[in-house]
A and B are shown apart, each in its own frame.
Chain A
Amino acid sequence: MSEKKHRVSRRQFLTYTLTGVGGFMAAGMLSPMVRMALDPALEATGDSEFVSVGLGEDELTDEPQIVNFQLEIEDAWYTSEQPRSAWIYKDGDEIIALSPICTHLGCTVNWDSNEDYPEQFFCPCHFGRFERDGTNVAGTPPTRPLDVYDVEVRDGMIYLGQINQRS
């Protein structure tokens, strides 16, 4: 191929530049659209935040103890701190954190609070009872076990995540 043949004609030059500029503009317009379309898919899903309860792993025993913590709730534009509690204990190496909300009608249950039912979670409202692992005692009003929190240990401290229903 000789040098001569490589000369760019005016027509070619214009075609190249216009395609180049046009393509650049199209990309500029399309890329935000593509990003918007993909954005929901890229977003982290269900990865609710873990909250410190201010308790170290070494402070846990096999006896359930109550911890109170604050959870930031975002309701539209309004963010509020809501108090949450959990009954937390060690079962062997596993850490269990149970929600204290009775699955019957939502009263707060207490551990080992009724003399007649030692070593059980007891609901003062309608005498619902749960075993240590949160299983509802048959014959009492609740129909499913206490909900459990996701638990994480970071640097020896306990963090609780989302609440999970069991059936």
Chain B
Amino acid sequence: MKWKVTDIDTYQQAKEYVDTAVIPLIPLQWGKSEKETITMGEFTEYITDRIENQFTGRVFLMPPFTYLKTESSEEKLRRLMEWDAHLFQQGFKYVFYVTSDVAWKSLDKKLPDELIWIPAISSETMNSDQLKKTVEQQTSQIMPLFTGKWQTEPNNRDE
């Protein structure tokens, strides 16, 4: 399900089935390597869209968590954990953070739930068919992370 008014009605009727939140982590930076930063964000959105498409009935795709590239790790982490705690309390037992920004990789251990980092592939030189294929392939590789996670107990968030 998506962050859309039409989907929230479906959600409310099927709440107990939707236990997974996906948060795209998307950086913002201007004045220096905008292109790479945009590529990251764009690719993350393609991937999360595709995940949502495959797992519509169990996954809720949240609006992106955005941050300045210059924001400190501690601050980013603190804010994201607030999102996570909020969603967890509201019944999302599994939370996935999806990003192409490698900066999150070093914070992996500190995150309360699953981080998925996929290197961004620029869509610049691809036609729409190739792009679709690439996104499909990449997504099919990370889909087992979801199905696998669902077999396990949700992580505890101890405050």
Residues of A within 8 A of B (CB): 83, 102, 104-108, 123-126, 141
Contacts and interface: CB of A to CB of B under 8 A. Distances in A.
A105 B7 CA distance: 11
Given A105-B10, A105-B14, A105-B17, A125 B57 contact: yes
B66 interface: no
Given A83-B132, A107-B57, 18 more contacts: A105-B14, A105-B17, A105-B18, A105-B56, A105-B57, A107-B54, A107-B56, A107-B58, A124-B143, A124-B146, A124-B147, A125-B17, A125-B55, A125-B56, A125-B58, A125-B59, A126-B58, A141-B17
Main SS at interface, chain A: loop
B53 interface: yes
Nearest to A102: B57
Residue among B17, B57, B146 with the highest chain A CB neighbour number at 10 A? B57
Interface of B: 10, 14, 17-18, 53-59, 132, 143, 146-147, 150
A102 B53 CA distance: 12
B109 to A, nearest CB: 28
Nearest to A107: B57
A79 to B, nearest CB: 15
A104 B17 CA distance: 10
A90 B10 CA distance: 34
Contacts of A102: 57
Contacts of B146: 124
A154 B18 CA distance: 42
A99 to B, nearest CB: 13
15 contacts: A102-B57, A104-B17, A104-B57, A105-B17, A105-B18, A106-B57, A108-B55, A124-B143, A124-B146, A124-B147, A125-B17, A125-B56, A125-B57, A125-B58, A141-B17
A49 to B, nearest CB: 21
A83 B132 CA distance: 10
Contacts of A104: 17, 57
Contact of B54 (A105, A108, A141): A108
A83 B133 CA distance: 12
A83 B56 CA distance: 15
A106 B58 CA distance: 9
B53 A108 contact: yes
B68 to A, nearest CB: 33
A104 B57 CA distance: 8
Nearest to A100: B54
Nearest to B10: A105
A123 B133 CA distance: 22
A141 B59 CA distance: 16
Nearest to B128: A81
B57 to A, nearest CB: 3
A106 B56 contact: yes
